[in-house]
Amino acid sequence: MNDNLRTTLKRLKLSGLGRSLDVRLQEARANNLDHEEFLELVLQDETRVRRGNLIKRRLKAAGLSGAKTLDRFNWAFNHDISRKRIFDLAACDFIEKARDALFIGPPGVGKTHLAQAIALEAIKAGFTVYYRSVFDLVRDFIKEEDFPEEGRVLKRYLKPDLLIIDDMGLKQLPKRAGEHLFEVVMRRYEIRSTMMTSNRPVEEWGKLIGDVPTAGAILDRLLQHAEIISITGKSYRLKDQAVETSNPT
């Protein structure tokens, strides 16, 4: 590739094409490709790079620095997980219908991994996603109380096609947490999809929030159109620790 062509590709921001052009030129000469075949190849290269860059930007905007994938999930460790139900969620039909999803189970059984993997598939499908732990959500709203931003925090939680609220029930939430959580769930109800993961049964949410009526109102909306995935079994994270304990160095 000559310098003039390289400069033109940079000016046009065709980084994918520029990255593979030398190889494609060699391929074209070796296989006697016609102009149309060659053009198709280099445009596929550019499209692939642009799509990859777009997914990276959307992952960053979603708050997912290193998204999990379904093909890296250890299905064998928890045999009770229904692959069909998980892959149905990953197909994103529930987002199209503005339905919700709730993963319930003890810590370490894969709830966050599956939620993030579904988030990745949603991003690939063109949906916008926002991922936060429930503690981050509460901190965001408390911070806005101290420094009013004209509802910018609420808008951030209402805008995405899929909102994932992780780690419900990991520990007791601070005062007024229930109000903030209820506001988000209520405003998204039947308009946008919300996915939550909980380490505790829904019957204990009132105690965790410190407000039984508010917890009931949250669950009334969240569960009405929700796909509920209950996961039991041992902690996957503790598996390796158990192996190390039984095989001391």
Cα-to-chain-centroid distance, residue 6: 37
Tokens representing residue 174 in the block = 């601070």
- The pair phi, psi for residue 232, each rounded to 5°, is -115, 180
Q: What is the CATH number of the domain that holds 80?
A: 3.40.50.300
| 32 and 131 part of one domain | no
| 198 and 115 part of one domain | yes
**Does residue 98 sit within a domain?**
yes
More confident residue, 11 or 180: 180
| 52 and 85 part of one domain | no
Strands (E), the chain: 100-104, 129-133, 162-168, 193-198, 226-230
| 193 and 218 part of one domain | yes
| 74 and 49 part of one domain | no
Looking at every residue in the chain, the average pLDDT score rounds to: 87
| 58 and 115 part of one domain | no
pLDDT, average across residues 102-114: 93
Express each pLDDT in 164-182 by its tens digit: 999 998 777 888 888 899 9
Whether 186 shows a pLDDT value over 90: the answer reads yes
pLDDT band at 236 (very low <50, low <70, confident <90, very high): low
pLDDT, average across residues 105-133: 94
Read off the amino acid at residue 102. L
**Does residue 249 sit within a domain?**
no
How far apart, in Å, do the first and last CA atoms of the chain sit?
56
Q: Which long-range contacts (CB under 8 A, 24 or more apart) does 69-75 make?
A: 69/117, 69/120, 70/114, 70/117, 70/121, 73/110, 73/113, 73/114, 73/117, 74/110, 74/236
| 15 and 86 part of one domain | no
| 55 and 121 part of one domain | no
- Contact assessment for residue 193 and residue 127, using Cβ atoms and an 8 Å cutoff: no
Q: How many domains does one find in the chain?
A: 2
| 80 and 52 part of one domain | no
pTM value is 0.81
Domain-ending residue, one of 30, 45, 62: 62
Looking at the chain, the whole-number percentage of residues with pLDDT higher than 90 is 54
| 21 and 75 part of one domain | no
Q: Which domain holds residue 42?
A: 3-62
| 45 and 22 part of one domain | yes
Q: What is the pLDDT of residue 237?
A: 57
**Does residue 247 sit within a domain?**
no
Domain-ending residue, one of 15, 46, 62: 62
**Does residue 248 sit within a domain?**
no
Tokens representing residue 136 in the block = 């981050």
Whether 111 shows a pLDDT value over 80: the answer reads yes
Domain-ending residue, one of 62, 78, 94: 62
Whether 97 shows a pLDDT value over 90: the answer reads yes
Read off the amino acid at residue 126. G
